[in-house]
Amino acid sequence: MMSWHVDAPGSLGTHPLVRRLVPRPEIGANELLVRVLACGVCRTDLHVAVGDLPVHRRNVVPGHEVVGLVEAVGTAVDAFKPGNRVGIPWLHSTCGVCRYCLRGAENLCPNSTYTGWDVNGGFAEYTSISEGFALKLPSGYTDNELAPLLCAGIIGFRALERADLPEGGRLGVYGFGASAHLATQVALARGAQVHVMTRSKSARELAYDLGAASVQGAYDHPPELLDSAILFAPVGDLVPTALEALDRAGVLSIAGIHLTDVPVLNYQKHLFYEREVRSVTSNTRRDAQEFLEFADNHHLRVSTMPYPLSGANRALEDLAADRVTGAAVLVP
């Protein structure tokens, strides 16, 4: 099969992804062999490729928003059969026995592993997943539309939950890419008023089209104080900007796995009146199930830009340069 590997993380100008022909994955008793139909290109894949995140596996195959067909199953698999359509997300495994797993916070498991970082992912023609972490997919979506739901959608959903938005509240969204445009639709469906701050002209147009109450530049103030905000852009300079826009007792949820350094905060200006900052660390399988159930019951508009599998480096370059509206998706 053909697959892309991060041999040595580096700048996009060096084309850090290297294409190879390698054997198909071998599967264990509890695993599925999956033929990739579509794989979303997440900003985390960009962080892995350029070295913003430490190397967890040498020569790893990125990609953790995988929609595929089950080609074969291990001898102990019960829930899936060959021919089933399946989703492969970021969370690949947890230990199941630590205090975090036992209290329902498996996303904090110290022994957790991740698709496209610790194990090979979906920038390939085939990949594999254990039965316990594979996802059943909602109906009514194409393969390309489903792919971004498996990380951008799920992590945006968790970020929205962490933002503790009151019913009918005012939500600020900073950055408007793959995850933000899906979380915005969830918030709107729940009756929220959404204000979007982003630098991309095409993203601003999409935000208005989806129903945002206002759209302005990334560092601009929304027209009213916010009950909650989500920072999707990996830009630490936006943290004080977002905090200044919060009303009393407002919550800022930071959705990314990587963030540039946060400037010094002024207690009175940014944090007083019980304003909070919360990070988001991966997601649990329960988050995934709840979000995919929501997507099944409330059809989401998923904006995608397809690329052939051979165009993986170009997809990363376009993502880094804000040339992607919605989500980039690789299609073998």
Residues of the chain with pLDDT > 90, as a percent, come to: 97
pLDDT, tens digit (0-9, with 9 covering 90-100), for 79-108: 999 999 999 999 999 999 999 999 999 999
* Confidence (pLDDT) at 98: 98
Does pLDDT of 15 surpass 90? no
* Dist CA 65 CA 93 (whole Å): 15
pLDDT, tens digit (0-9, with 9 covering 90-100), for 116-129: 999 999 999 999 99
Average pLDDT over residues 5-26: 94
* Confidence (pLDDT) at 16: 92
- Bridge partners of 32, per DSSP, are 73, 129
Which value, in Å, is the radius of gyration of the alpha carbons in the chain? Answer: 19
Work out whether strand 193-197 and strand 214-216 pair parallel, antiparallel, or are unpaired. Answer: parallel
- Bridge partners of 194, per DSSP, are 171
Average pLDDT over residues 156-166: 98
Consecutive H or E run containing 18: strand 17-21
* Confidence (pLDDT) at 13: 85
Q: Which two tokens stand for residue 153?
A: 């959608």
> How confident is the prediction for the chain on average, in pLDDT?
97
The set of residues, in sequence order, having a beta carbon less than 8 Å from that of 287 and lying 6+ positions away, is 107, 154, 157, 158, 161
* Confidence (pLDDT) at 220: 97
Average pLDDT over residues 39-65: 96
Does pLDDT of 14 surpass 90? no
pLDDT, tens digit (0-9, with 9 covering 90-100), for 229-244: 999 999 999 999 999 9
